[in-house]
Amino acid sequence: MVLPKKTQTELENIINTVIAECESTNDLGKELAEAGASQGTWISSLKQSAGRGRLGRTWLSAEGNLFLSVILRPPSDFQHWGWLPLAIGVAVSKAVDHVRPHSGIKLKWPNDLWVGEAKAGGILCEASSAPTANTKSYVIAGIGLNCVTAPTTDVKTAALGIPADELRPLIIDFIRSESDSLFRYGPSVLRDQYQERSLLPAGTEVEWTGTAGTFAGAVRGLGESGELLVSEGDAPDAKEIKLFAEDVKIKPRLGAGAKSPA
Ligand code: BTN
């Protein structure tokens, strides 16, 4: 069922607010952005009936966890689009560390949030198709965080044990400051901050799945557009591949048990 679009007054009433429920906060964020909402405007919901994840997946959205979308308005000459989702991941991990220093939260490229060997959250950035005279380009950064419940999915999940109400204002502040910093100064500072928090540092053996199948190799680092650079195979002269949106898993080590954590 497609719900009717909201009126201007209904939209004004949900700006920077936590509402009881919706289908997806990213859909509401998009409506707010199309109506002209500014950089850093947000909408959050206690639960979602049609939460979306990356790569067309469903995001299970039970009450108690965090569901938040923030509108980002890059400047017209912005060139670092690939870094924006990574900046949001850094912002969310900084917010979690602010509440619980040394939480161990890590970023699994591009912007999954992991604690130990389990996924604790994810980020879905959705960009406007094309700017028009009325709607400048925007990105909706959607954050789903397992604050109190670890949903059952095909990937092992964990809950942070921090109430959503405690994290929400910090996450919004960090997202505003990290995105402003990327818009002004580009990705040079962000690159180091991301690498410090990465679950996939250089040398990590990984597998990735794309349209052409599943491949294995080792991480080499981040490219200039925020893409993951990997070697195809483990020979020293192996070809370098650039991953932009593929699903990446840590390669299970022989004898380390049958189930891969990521
Ligand atoms: C992922 O696949 O890991 C990304 C999940 C993103 C889920 C969040 S919850 C708030 C926002 N609204 C949605 O429908 N999705 C994002």
CA distance 162 to 159: 8
Ligand 1 contacts (CB < 6 A) are 24-26, 48, 51-54, 57, 59, 67-69, 112, 122-124, 142-144
Residue with the nearest Cα to atom 2 of ligand 1?
53
Q: Give 220's contacts (C-beta < 8 A, 6+ positions apart).
A: 202, 229, 230, 231, 240
What pLDDT score was predicted for residue 232? 87
What pLDDT score was predicted for residue 8? 86
* 124 against 10, higher pLDDT: 124
Give 3-state DSSP helix, strand, coil % of the chain, rounded to 5: 25, 30, 40
* 189 against 256, higher pLDDT: 189
Task: Calculate mean pLDDT across residues 187-191.
Answer: 96
Which is nearest to 111 in space by CA: 180, 203, 23, 175? 175
Residue pLDDT, tens place only, 165-186? 999 999 999 999 999 999 999 9
User: Peptide bond preceding 110: is omega within 30 degrees of 0, i.e. cis?
Assistant: yes
Q: What number does the ligand 1 atom closest to the CA of 54 have?
A: 2
Vertex 176: Cα angle to 167 and 155 (nearest 5)? 50
Ligand 1 centre distance from Cα of residue 228 (Å): 21
Token output for 225? 């557009």
What pLDDT score was predicted for residue 262? 58
* Share above pLDDT 90 across residues of the chain, in percent, rounded to a whole number: 78
Residue pLDDT, tens place only, 70-111? 999 999 899 999 999 999 999 999 999 999 998 999 999 999
What pLDDT score was predicted for residue 258? 44
What pLDDT score was predicted for residue 127? 92
Ligand 1 centre distance from Cα of residue 142 (Å): 5
Q: Which of 46, 124, 247 to mutate to test the pocket of ligand 1 (most atoms within 8 A of CB)?
A: 124
What pLDDT score was predicted for residue 5? 79
Which is nearest to 171 in space by CA: 53, 76, 42? 42
Q: Which of 14, 26, 126, 167 to mutate to test the pocket of ligand 1 (most atoms within 8 A of CB)?
A: 26
Residue with the nearest Cα to atom 9 of ligand 1?
144
What pLDDT score was predicted for residue 134? 57
* 144 against 137, higher pLDDT: 144
Could you tell me the pLDDT band of residue 260, with boundaries at 50, 70 and 90?
very low
Average pLDDT of the chain is 92
Which is nearest to 155 in space by CA: 115, 211, 189? 115
What pLDDT score was predicted for residue 259? 46
Could you tell me the pLDDT band of residue 116, with boundaries at 50, 70 and 90?
very high
Q: Is the pLDDT of residue 141 over 90?
A: yes
Token output for 198? 């990465």
Residue pLDDT, tens place only, 203-258? 999 999 888 889 999 999 999 999 999 998 777 788 999 999 888 999 877 655 44
What pLDDT score was predicted for residue 135? 64
* 116 against 252, higher pLDDT: 116
* 16 against 13, higher pLDDT: 16
End-to-end CA distance of the chain: 34
> pTM of this prediction?
0.92
